[in-house]
Amino acid sequence: MTKAFNATPLFDAHKAFVRLPMGMAMLDEYPDSKQFVQSICETIPDAREDFLHTQAFLRSYSRKSEATYRGYRNEVERLLLWAWTVANKSVIQLKRPDLEAYFDFAHGPAPAWVGVSVQDRFKIIGGESRQNKNWRPFAAKIAKEDRAEAVSEGQTVETSRDGHLLSHEAMKICYSAVSCYYDYLTDEGYAFGNPIPAIRKQSPFLIKGATQKNIKRLSDLQWDYVLESAQAAADGSPDHERTLFVIAMLKTLYLRVSELSDRTNWQPVWKHFWQDSDGNNWLKVLGKGNKMRDISVPNALSPYIDRYQKYRASLSTTFGVNSTLVSKNRGAGGMTSRQLRRIVQQAFDLAYERMMAEGFGEEAKALREATTHWLRHTGASQDIATRPLKHMADDLGHASMGTTDQVYIQSDMKERARSGKEREV
């Protein structure tokens, strides 16, 4: 078995995938992928049916959400490419030893299967979607803090393909997606059963429990600097009004970045802010799992909302309740999750520079690791001590209070360590 990567991507991003025809005609706009599948079918005749059933599986799950489609697409595409080019078998010919070998491979893929960065699968060349030669099924990453430090020192950032391992969280997703895939193939009468649950029970890659339960969040000092730096930037230039609004919303309303972004089935607009008969303010969002919820809006957030609203109204006479909540600088429509993350990173960078200049070097360096999701955790962690658990769970969009309790109510690790030092033998 060769572990070299000699395959092409099969399924495009959600936005492109949902508009394409079903069947092999889907590949008409993807000549490299079409040629690859045709060549595979010469040695593995069932590969054509593999492709069609996988396409139908993804089409079914693409209806739920873009995130669901992307997660399943990544996992089943990896399995298909491995089955065809490494095991040289159809997915329905894979026996338990084959699938165990696949999960071993997925946990520690061959370097040739690992890219040095996340890349788009296809590039538009001459009106056709051609294979991006830099794309790989897996992508190596370096810590955000290490990357930022290297760039600030003018060093070249090099990412190694060797020794890439999926975390146990990533492996859980892998097992779950592939198991769902085989359930679908079985229901469709294409596969003869689903061996994944039995394989998963014996997996050495799934670790139960955790050694540290601390959630990743900004310290109070870091958050103060992020907010104050964004506010100072907005005071100095209207271009930063959007930055201030975005970070205030994400942190105060415990939003996931996707809940503020434009999606295929949802566009946040200003009329999603609403007031009940008692004068309480709310924001309607479409959350994880396509679940709608209303989040209570505190009075303290109102000045930030009013400020951004006035700024938007000053830019356009057509601004109103149906206008997109967070607008692009150029073009129509709202912003994607990726664009919103860039805005948040700008706020983090402003705070980092200010903290370094004012002598908070350690806190500043720790801020280099922060991601957009830390704002959600920061807001929830600060409020959990003063708000009822049920209210927190509802605003966070958790299905049960148990999730909120497990994530946010826990003993502080530093205090736990301090008390632990006093124990006697």
Range scoring the smallest mean pLDDT among 210-214, 357-361, 417-421 = 210-214
Tokens of 236: 């100095």
- Cα dihedral value 223, 225, 230, 231, nearest 10: 100
Contact 57, 17 (CB under 8 A): no
Rounded distance between C-alpha atoms, residue 275 and residue 282, angstroms: 6
- Cα dihedral value 176, 177, 180, 185, nearest 10: -140
The chain-wide mean pLDDT, for the chain, equals 89
pLDDT tens, 365-395?
Answer: 999 989 999 999 999 988 988 898 899 999 9
Q: Which amino acid is residue 148, in one-letter code?
A: A
Rg of the chain on CA atoms, in Å: 24
- Cα dihedral value 98, 104, 107, 108, nearest 10: -120
Does residue 254 have a pLDDT over 90? Answer: yes
Q: Where in the chain is the domain with CATH 1.10.443.10?
A: 220-420
- Nearest to 102, CA basis, from 114, 111, 91: 91
pTM surpassing 0.75?
no
SS3 325: coil
| Long-range contacts of the stretch 332-336 (C-beta < 8 A, 24+) | 333/262, 333/267, 334/261, 334/262, 334/267, 334/268, 335/260, 335/261, 335/262, 336/261, 336/262
Compute the average pLDDT of residues 113-136: 93
Rounded distance between C-alpha atoms, residue 416 and residue 14, angstroms: 45
The fold of the 220-420 domain, in CATH, is hpI Integrase; Chain A (1.10.443)
Tokens of 251: 């942190």
The label of the residue with tokens 């402003």 reads 350
Compute the average pLDDT of residues 256-269: 91
CA angle 275, 335, 365 (to 5 degrees): 100
Does residue 143 have a pLDDT over 60? Answer: no
Does residue 147 have a pLDDT over 60? Answer: no
Rounded distance between C-alpha atoms, residue 81 and residue 37, angstroms: 10
DSSP 158-194: ----TT----HHHHHHHHHHHHHHHHHHHHTTSSS--
Rounded distance between C-alpha atoms, residue 57 and residue 162, angstroms: 32
